[in-house]
């Protein structure tokens, strides 16, 4: 339905109809999926070496970023990952789910400047990191990496369509990402000081990545991380309003960045946990079944802190039973089957080196269901 700006009562009624039938509508991780954005690796560029990459990459990988930072990912890697993304899109279509893709109009290799620094972009492979859907609200995350400063623009033609179809579109204030925004004393080899987790970003300005949040209806869980600070969490809490409760959680990942391999809600009352990092769940989950994930099938020697071999758990549910999972993750597939789920295995291993798996590569824009409390 088209929005028409006018001041008479009739057109106000049209606007209100349009917003209740928004094309964007998703409250949790498991309601039946109707529409999804699938990312793209086309034109992907290796993150340049700067204050934040330095702080968030393991030291054994620094040579890679120093050498290749700012250059395109090798074409062969891009092609293999593209094939897997297209396979994922096809699987969704076969299940009657509408698939949207970024329009690929951005040139990530082009250098850009702000008053404080210059950088190049990265990719539009991970809509999950940049965008969040809460009910009919689409939120553009401010991000914390310079290389991701303009990344949300890769989705702007889609966001504009969703806006025209009734979605609310919120853009969080971007930090300057100047030198003071990063903690110059942060040492990746000292993740805790006096028992307190350390982060490379300060609270000087608002920052969060959308993938540090996970939705269970009225209750939304978020972790502070290498890219999400207190102000970012408070910004989300205030802007989504009193229909929701935002709970801050902390687990054992020494270099947290994105919560979607740590706790994975699969259905009302069912949560999958990563046993390496989750020793205890917050009390709110006490009535839920806790499913303990088996170890990943293969070690994955990532050059990135933000993509461990627990990418095995980075899955997407298309409803309360069916879950898209990487086909080589056999122990996980067997466990899910034993627990009564129906895994949908697909090849996705060539996408891993870009820093994510199926959950990262997607954004569930619309699921059939209503806002509910599950606790």
Contact 300, 308 (CB under 8 A): yes
- 114: number of Cβ within 10 Å: 14
Both tokens of 67, joined, read 């050498």
**Interface with ligand NVA (CB under 6 A), residue from 181, 251, 285, 310:** 310
Which of 26, 225 has the CB closer to ligand NVA?
A: 225
Told to judge if 216 belongs to the known catalytic residues of this protein, a careful annotator would answer no
Query: Minimum distance from CB of 223 to ligand NVA (Å)?
Result: 10
* Shortest separation between residue 257's beta carbon and ligand NVA, angstroms: 5
Decide the pairing of beta strands 245-249 and 219-223: parallel
Residue 131 touches ligand NVA, criterion: CB under 6 A:
no
- Does 18 interact with ligand NVA (rule: CB under 6 A)? no
161-169, 189-197, 252-260, 332-340 -> range binding ligand NVA (CB under 6 A)? 252-260
Tell me the closest approach of the beta carbon of residue 314 to ligand NVA, in angstroms: 5
CA–CA–CA angle 328, 329, 332 (5° rounding):
155
Question: Shortest distance, CB of residue 315 to ligand NVA, whole angstroms?
Answer: 11
CB of 371 to ligand NVA, least distance (A): 26
Torsional sign, CA 36, 41, 44, 47: positive
> Do 252 and 225 meet the contact criterion of CB atoms below 8 Å apart?
no
Active site residue 239: no
- Neighbouring-strand partners of residue 248: 222
Q: Determine how β-strand 322-326 pairs with β-strand 316-317.
A: antiparallel
Q: Which of 50, 129, 209, 260 is catalytic?
A: 209
Site for ligand NVA contains 258 (CB under 6 A): yes
**Neighbouring residues of 184: CB distance < 8 A, sequence distance ≥ 6:** none
260 near ligand NVA (CB under 6 A): yes
| Least distance (Å) between residue 79 CB and ligand NVA | 22
User: Is 364 one of the annotated active-site residues of the chain?
Assistant: no
Tell whether residue 229 is a contact of ligand NVA (CB under 6 A). no
Residue 100 CA: distances (Å) to CA of 32, 91, 127, 303: 17, 13, 11, 29
Measure the CA–CA gap between 97 and 114, rounded to whole angstroms. Answer: 39
The correct pick among 91, 106, 210, 257 for binding ligand NVA (CB under 6 A) is: 257
CB 352 within 8 A of CB 373: no
CA dist 226 and 145 (Å) reads 10
Stretch that binds ligand NVA, among 66-74, 212-220, 256-264, 290-298 (CB under 6 A): 256-264
**Active-site residue (options: 129, 253, 360, 364):** 360
Instruction: Identify which of 185, 138, 129 has the alpha carbon closest to the alpha carbon of residue 160.
Output: 138
Active-site residue, selected from the candidate residues 25, 226, 255, 258: 258
Residue 356 contacts ligand NVA per CB under 6 A: yes
Pick the binder of ligand NVA from 22, 28, 147, 308 (CB under 6 A).
308
CB 149 within 8 A of CB 116: no
22 in contact with ligand NVA (CB under 6 A): no
Residues that bind ligand NVA (CB under 6 A): 257-258, 260-261, 306-308, 310-311, 314, 356, 360
Catalytic positions:
209, 258, 360
């Amino acid at each position: 339905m088209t929005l028409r700006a006018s001041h008479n009562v009739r057109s106000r009624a049209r606007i209100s109809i349009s917003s209740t039938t928004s094309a964007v509508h998703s409250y949790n991780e498991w309601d039946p999926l109707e529409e999804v954005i699938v990312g793209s690796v086309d034109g992907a560029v290796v993150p340049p070496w700067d204050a934040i990459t330095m702080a968030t990459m393991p030291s054994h990988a620094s040579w890679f970023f120093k050498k290749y930072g700012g250059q395109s990912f090798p074409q062969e890697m891009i092609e293999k990952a593209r094939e897997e993304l297209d396979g994922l899109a096809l699987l969704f279509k076969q299940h009657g789910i509408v698939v949207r893709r970024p329009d690929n109009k951005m040139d990530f290799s082009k250098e850009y400047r702000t008053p404080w620094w210059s950088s190049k972009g990265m990719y539009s492979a991970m809509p999950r990191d940049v965008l969040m859907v809460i009910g009919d609200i689409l939120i553009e995350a401010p991000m914390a990496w310079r290389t991701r400063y303009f990344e949300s623009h890769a989705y702007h033609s889609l966001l504009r369509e969703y806006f025209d179809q009734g979605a609310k579109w919120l853009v969080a204030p971007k930090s300057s990402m100047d030198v003071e925004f990063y903690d110059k004393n942060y040492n990746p080899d000292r993740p805790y000081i006096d028992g307190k987790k350390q982060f490379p970003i300060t609270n000087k300005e608002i920052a969060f990545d959308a993938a540090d949040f996970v939705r269970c209806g009225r209750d939304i869980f978020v972790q502070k991380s290498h890219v999400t600070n207190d102000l970012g969490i408070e910004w989300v809490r205030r802007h989504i309003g009193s229909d929701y409760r935002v709970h801050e959680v902390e687990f054992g990942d020494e270099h947290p960045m994105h919560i979607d391999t740590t706790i994975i809600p699969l259905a009302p009352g069912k949560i999958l946990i990563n046993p390496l990092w989750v020793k205890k769940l917050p009390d709110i989950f006490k009535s839920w079944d806790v499913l303990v994930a088996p170890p990943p099938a293969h070690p994955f020697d990532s050059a990135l802190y933000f993509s461990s071999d627990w990418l095995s758990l980075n899955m997407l549910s298309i409803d309360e039973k069916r879950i898209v999972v990487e086909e080589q993750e056999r122990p996980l597939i067997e466990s899910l089957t034993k627990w009564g789920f129906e895994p949908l295995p697909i090849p996705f291993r060539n996408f891993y080196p870009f820093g994510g798996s199926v959950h990262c590569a997607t954004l569930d824009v619309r699921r059939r269901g209503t806002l509910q409390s599950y606790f």
